[in-house]
Structure 1
Amino acid sequence: MLRLLVPLFVLLFARAASAQCLGDGVQLFPTPGAIIPINSRFLLEGVGTARESVVSLVGKKLRLVSDSHEVEVKAQRGWESSLGRATIVLKVSGKLEPDKRYSLRIDEVLPNVALLNGKGAALPEWYTGKGADTQAPRWQKRPAVSEGILRRTPQGTTRFVRLNLSLREESPAYLVVKLEPRRPGPSVQQYVVPVVNNTAFIGHEACSGTFAMEDGRSYRARIEAFDAAGHNAPAVPPVDFEAPADYSAP
């Protein structure tokens, strides 16, 4: 199948929030507060000054606790971004119990770390559903670039491309993206991005990000989709696009 280079509509006046720096701390997938299957695994991302602390957890064990059950979670190597981020995989030893609220005791291994997507909670928590996720996700709409977002601020440049997609999957899902230039230049990058409301973003804010991209350079994204239990969707063709560029700049 012929894969066409996708021209992007550049949003030079994206909303201000898209240009703000995320800050130093950790994020988790699935997003704290979500309902998860009893065979879920987790992703822990370190941002900014928390990056190296998260990487140092590889090989160590954490605790996931409810009011009546406790399991060990082993930290495994994941992915590293050149833009101040790193994500590790947290694999549960065994299965969680259904209809429970579990908390991940990150305070025991990362004291005083900021939880960036915890909705104000001190510890990340999730609610288990009725059972395990045994089905792999299926594509209903393959990933396609819908727009580019570019904003320049005194802090730096925010640059993203937005992927629209649809998966037949009840559990939270994420993408592992391998990004390579279509002509000789920057090195190949590989990182993970969550799927939220059938959307995923590739790129960077002013202070950190998942992927470095240059003005107007052509890229090819090879995309794999996974659910919270680690099942992967069928392979799809790569997506070609041009990074957003500010052609109005002098």
Structure 2
Amino acid sequence: MAPYRRGPGTDLASTPQGRRLGSTVLRFLVPLFVLLLARDAFAQCLGDGVQVFPTPGAIVPINSRFLLEGVGTAREPVVALVGKKLRLVADGHEAEVKAQRGWESSLGRATIILKVVGKLEADKRYTLRIDEALPNVALLNGRGGAVLPEWHTGKGADTQPPRWLKRPAVSEGFLRRTAQGTARFVRLNLSLREESPAYLVVKLEPRRPGPSVQQYVVPVTNNAAFIGHEACSGTFAMEDGRSYRARIEAFDAAGHNAPPVPPVDFEAPADYSAQ
């Protein structure tokens, strides 16, 4: 076949050869465009680093234990700390904390338990020197841009396990669309008789066959806890309107757990805006 030559007044895009060429270009450009969008969205996500519990700045009992969660690229370095020791430093006192295995999930997060060797002293401000074990790793939930987490100890130890005043129940779902994607959260209302900070260990699984069980630590704040995910990372991943079952355990800062409760069933918030 003779090569195509554009004649006077001929539009290349209107010819069979031009349409085939345009289709080939689009097949190349569309995946590239999507890849660039994904890269830019990921760059805007504050996902790589560590979080600690209790929340930095909280008042903790002298027999408190601590949790260290690695997110994104910090996940593997945090898991590698199991069996090693870190330092809690206060004015006139230093305590060792031993890293123990905690909870892992497949969505880029892992949590380890930091158990204090001995006890902390009352009425002191302790700093966890995570920089010595994880240099150049960002603290995601520090107060006021703090680089290292700090806590204040109370007057004594926490010796009583938490008790349920109100068992966990789903109150509402939240869905928010952003340039990075769709965020979905479900709010759990609950109430515990507990003086020290508390948290939940939540195992989330679909009611019908699907992804493997997800398991994360969720802090309790003002008698509420949120499970779900941000637009580009976060805790639990949920699909539009799908039914889920959450198995919940509650712990206080000292590691005591509350009595078991039945699982909570709910449907993930659905995005109907595209329908």
- Does the alignment reach a TM-score above 0.5? yes
Residue number in structure 1 paired with 2:234: 209
Q: 1:225 pairs with 230, 240, 250, which one?
A: 250
Instruction: Judge conservation of contact 1:81–1:211 (CA < 8 Å) in 2.
Output: no
Match status 1:112 vs 2:172? no
- Superposed displacement of residue 172, structure 1: 0.3
Q: 1:30 pairs with 45, 54, 66, which one?
A: 54
Q: CA–CA distance in 1 between the matches of 2:109 and 2:183?
A: 15
Residue number in structure 2 paired with 1:150: 175
Instruction: Judge conservation of contact 2:47–2:234 (CA < 8 Å) in 1.
Output: no
Q: Which amino acid in structure 2 is aligned with residue 134 of structure 1? A: T
Q: CA–CA distance in 2 between the matches of 1:143 and 1:21?
A: 30
Q: Which amino acid in structure 1 is aligned with residue 131 of structure 2? A: D
- Superposed displacement of residue 30, structure 1: 0.4
Instruction: Judge conservation of contact 2:160–2:256 (CA < 8 Å) in 1.
Output: yes
Q: CA–CA distance in 2 between the matches of 1:43 and 1:50?
A: 14
Q: 1:28 to 1:231 in 2, by over 3 A?
A: same
Q: CA–CA distance in 2 between the matches of 1:248 and 1:187?
A: 28
Match status 1:93 vs 2:117? yes
**Residues 15-94 of structure 1: matches in 2 within 5 Å?**
21-94=45-118
Deviations 1:126-165 (A, max 9, x none): 1100000000001111101011111222212211111011
Q: CA–CA distance in 2 between the matches of 1:137 and 1:183?
A: 32
Residue number in structure 1 paired with 2:25: none
**Residues 119-134 of structure 1: matches in 2 within 5 Å?**
119=143, 120-134=145-159
Q: CA–CA distance in 2 between the matches of 1:75 and 1:242?
A: 36
Q: CA–CA distance in 1 between the matches of 2:88 and 2:211?
A: 40
The worse-fitting range, judged by mean Cα deviation, of 115-124 and 156-165 is 115-124
Match status 1:179 vs 2:204? yes
Q: Which amino acid in structure 2 is aligned with residue 183 of structure 1? A: R
SS in 1 for 2:240: coil
Instruction: Please give the root-mean-square deviation of Cα atoms over the aligned residues, in Å.
Output: 1.3
Residue number in structure 1 paired with 2:268: 243
Whichever of the two has the greater Rg, that structure is 2
SS in 2 for 1:108: helix
Unaligned 5+ segments in structure 1 are 1-19
Q: CA–CA distance in 1 between the matches of 2:159 and 2:45?
A: 37
Instruction: Judge conservation of contact 1:26–1:47 (CA < 8 Å) in 2.
Output: yes
Residue number in structure 2 paired with 1:15: none
Q: Which amino acid in structure 2 is aligned with residue 223 of structure 1? A: I
Q: CA–CA distance in 2 between the matches of 1:240 and 1:191?
A: 17
Q: Which has the higher contact order (CA 8 A, sep 6+)?
A: 1
Q: Which amino acid in structure 2 is aligned with residue 188 of structure 1? A: V
Q: CA–CA distance in 1 between the matches of 2:72 and 2:61?
A: 30
Deviations 1:19-57 (A, max 9, x none): x84332111100111100000000111122212211111
Instruction: Judge conservation of contact 1:47–1:208 (CA < 8 Å) in 2.
Output: no
Between the two proteins, the alignment pairs up a number of residues equal to 231
Between Structure 1 and Structure 2, the one with more helix by share is 2
- Superposed displacement of residue 236, structure 1: 1.0
Q: Which amino acid in structure 2 is aligned with residue 47 of structure 1? A: V
Q: 1:243 to 1:56 in 2, by over 3 A?
A: same
